[in-house]
Amino acid sequence: MSTSLRLGVAEFRARPGRALLPGVALVVGVACLLAALVLSDALTRSVDEGAPLTPASVGHVVDVRNVQGGSTAKLDDALITKLSSVGRAVPVQVAQADLLDGNGRAGEHRAEVNVQQPDLARWPLAEGKQPTADNEVAVDKITAFERDLQPGDKIQLASADGKPFDVTVSGVLKRGGLDSRPVLVAGPDLARKLDPQPFTKEVWVLGGSREAVTSAAGAAYWVSDPRPDADKIGNDLTFILLPFSVLALATAVFVAAATFRAVYAQRQRQTALLRCIGAQRGPLVRRSLLEAFVTGAAAGVGGALLGGPMAWLLARTFDATGISALFGAVELSPELLPSLGYVILGVVVAAVLSVMAAVRPAINAARVSPLAALRDADNEVPPRSVRRLRLVFGILFTAGAGLLALAAIAAKGTAGAPLAVTFSAIAAVTGLFWILGPVTVPFIARLFGKIGGTQWKLAGAEVRRMPARSASVALPLLLASSMVTFFLVLLGGAQEMTYSYANEQRPDATVVDAGQRPLPEIPAQPGVEASVALHKIDDGVSGADPAQFNAWLKAQDATGAGQLAEGVALAPDWFDRPFVEANGKQYKVVGSIPGRLTGYTSIVGGVTSGPAEKVLVALKPGVDPAEFRAGMQAALPANPTVIVETDADERAEAERYMHLGTVLMMVLLGLSVAVAVTGIGTALTISVQERRKELALRRALGVTQGGLQGGVIAEAIMLALVGVIGGGVLGFAYAQIAILSVGIDMSLPGLKVVLPLVIGALAVVLLAVIAAFGPSRGASRIRPAAGLASG
């Protein structure tokens, strides 16, 4: 052990740069891991610190008991009266309200109003004070951020009858509304003005014994102890980011293993000399593993220090793209310096993974015979038996991948199809790019070598000279690229499916009240081909004038819809009963109508009494729905809660979610790409060290410093393109196989997915150029005389 220790220390003292080179990828990998943990902490803290807290004075919580078949019990005034005989009974209620924008109009998403008693404050504030007066509210932090609100500012709400009135912002909550949906806190009087029928979640009882409360509530209700942190999410958000950071760390292990292999091969002459003078394989392996342990520990410290800044950059990216708002957070502030526990975690993880990555390269290096290692070898040429065995196993794995892919398509729609796709992809990567990598990667590089000049041809020759190393460098980038392509193509396919769903027959425009209030008289607007008012009769059933409804159907070009007549009904196309029941009457169903056209509501002909709940509008060809909305809102200044929903709105909402999903996937999977690109930099560093004589000879023959730099950069670009193109083709192919195997009608995406992939590929090439900057500078500084004299 002492001999191993001395040999390892001697290697670090002699060539510290080469000894620490395999840890470069681990630095980035550990930084990704700790960035995910630190950012998850900040995200969890941001969400949990705003969770409502149950006041300490609450002794019991009453809720409806869950029974099989449902329960008819309600948390109503009668229950509160019973519980009041035991102690103070306080309903915990949530109301709905319309928060008006700067133009005095309601939005599509209503605000959640949490009712709070003045003496039972439960919502933590970031600033200001709790609402106490009838004209005060507290707003969530995202609404305050987006509208630049501070305590003392005025906002407009709509009362239950739709009339606007001003309230004062008393405070800003620590909580943020999910996906920027407003959350307010108000007192009971203001809440009743906004919503006369709030939803009661549970009832608090202050005072009284458990037995007395249970007896007063009755058998239909459940009495429990209060849970102060019942609404906290704990560390659930960690599992959103952690899998991607673990994936980046796994990529770092691949890169580190390839670098260890190259480093050990570079000093094989030294290993052979040690073997000639009697060194055993065991001490040599232990020396290598000790070096790997020290390298990993140093990488862990570096990664821990980079974790905080990387988390900060991710936080700013999430804020800028709107991803933070999806989780109810904004302006995340992760710690720039990690805690001692995270530093220890980073050191331990990096050291262990470094040793794991070095085991196989260390054993293989120690197995090289002294005579073979002392010979000069300019390229990697494995024995013929090894090549034959590699070819056999590569073909078997590739054929198995093809059979599994066919089996996945044959098992379309079953639970086994996704498993077959997964194992097929694993087998394909293993066969084509791991086992047959020394053949596949040079073949792809040869294709690129034909499209460039001299520098490209020399770069292709270098890739072919060290095929195993080139394959090891390209494999992590190829895996990352294939995963990015796979998920983006699937997301794009889902987006296309959403568009297809959104393109189902539906009204050009629908005029409704945001709070489901009765509509006022709707003034005529230019650009309208036909319109019809729907009058609510019962839940899921509306009445309409037959002539207007049929004219609207014709103008809407609704296919598959029947004609409406007096006293009969048209039902949604999924409705399978011969009659529609409403208000104790039965109406015969004489035809169907596409459900999206009416919002899955049955239509009865001739029943038009009472105010309208909805107006369906068919616009003339070429009329802009946004202009129609603006005209309608301008014509109803006294009705701020009347909104216009258009077909384009739903498509835009679906596109927004898909865009956020695409950005989130590219950012998180981009961590693995960034780690994989470091492998290119380390491989080129080793390559420049090995080719000092060759590079010096080029300089002696007249190649400029810029020419040498260009050659190294060309090699980096070629390796990046091999990984990006190979991974892109593989990911695209398996995305297609996955689409065929799920049993859902999902088409391949178009330019909206191709464009991010092209931009991502250009970014990878740019990162590869940056990674090659150091090795290329080192190559250009080689002096011809000194380089030719080196051994």
Return d(Cα 332, Cα 315) in angstroms, integer: 6
- Main-chain phi, psi angles of 616, to 5 degrees: -95, 135
Coil, helix or strand at residue 630: helix
What percentage of the chain exceeds 90 in pLDDT? 23
Tell me what pLDDT residue 61 has: 92
Mean pLDDT on 624-653: 86
Higher pLDDT, 285 or 603: 603
User: CA geometry: angle at 197 spanning 113 and 603, to 5°?
Assistant: 110
Mean pLDDT on 494-521: 77
Tell me what pLDDT residue 349 has: 92
545 pLDDT tier (thresholds 50, 70, 90): very high
Tell me what pLDDT residue 381 has: 55
- Mean of pLDDT over the chain: 83
Tell me what pLDDT residue 529 has: 92
Tell me what pLDDT residue 788 has: 62
Tell me what pLDDT residue 232 has: 58
Tell me what pLDDT residue 513 has: 92
Residue 636 has pLDDT above 70, yes or no: yes
Higher pLDDT, 103 or 387: 103
Q: Which helix (H) or strand (E) holds 383?
A: none
661: its two tokens: 């999903």
348 pLDDT tier (thresholds 50, 70, 90): very high
Question: Quick one: three-class SS letters along 506-555?
Answer: CCCEEEEECCCCCCCCCCCCCCEEEEEEEEEEECCEEEECHHHHHHHHHH
Mean pLDDT on 404-410: 88
729: its two tokens: 């083709």
Rounded to 10 deg, the angle between the 647-690 and 705-742 helix axes is 140
192: its two tokens: 């009743």
Mean pLDDT on 628-636: 90
Q: Considering only CA atoms, give the Rg of the chain.
A: 34
Tell me what pLDDT residue 501 has: 54
Partnered with residue 289 across adjacent β-strands are: none
Nearest to 22 by CA among 461, 389, 473, 499: 473
Tell me what pLDDT residue 128 has: 94
750: its two tokens: 């178009």
Tell me what pLDDT residue 610 has: 76
Question: Quick one: three-class SS letters along 75-100?
Answer: CCHHHHHHHHCCCEEEEEEEEEEEEE
Residue 787 has pLDDT above 60, yes or no: no
Q: Give residue for tokens 């407009």.
A: 156
Return d(Cα 254, Cα 477) in angstroms, integer: 10
What percentage of the chain exceeds 70 in pLDDT? 87
Return d(Cα 336, Cα 694) in angstroms, integer: 45
Q: Of the spans 207-221, 319-333, 654-668, which averages the highest pLDDT?
A: 207-221
Contacts of 733 (CB under 8 A, 6+ apart): none
Return d(Cα 437, Cα 474) in angstroms, integer: 9
Return d(Cα 690, Cα 377) in angstroms, integer: 11
Residues 302-336: pLDDT tens digits?
999 999 999 999 888 888 888 888 888 888 888 88
- Main-chain phi, psi angles of 67, to 5 degrees: -130, 155
Nearest to 519 by CA among 611, 589, 598, 432: 611
Nearest to 662 by CA among 489, 482, 502: 489
Return d(Cα 444, Cα 431) in angstroms, integer: 16
Q: What is the pairing mode between strands 509-513 and 642-646?
A: antiparallel
Return d(Cα 313, Cα 726) in angstroms, integer: 29
Coil, helix or strand at residue 185: strand
| CB-CB contact of 738 with 418 (8 Å) | yes
Q: pTM of the prediction?
A: 0.75
Amino acid of residue 78: A
Residue 157 has pLDDT above 90, yes or no: yes
Tell me what pLDDT residue 251 has: 84
Residues 434-468: pLDDT tens digits?
888 888 888 887 777 666 667 777 777 777 777 87
Return d(Cα 447, Cα 456) in angstroms, integer: 11
377 pLDDT tier (thresholds 50, 70, 90): very low
Nearest to 626 by CA among 646, 652, 651: 646
Higher pLDDT, 388 or 72: 388
Q: Of the spans 11-25, 50-64, 405-419, 688-702, which averages the highest pLDDT?
A: 50-64
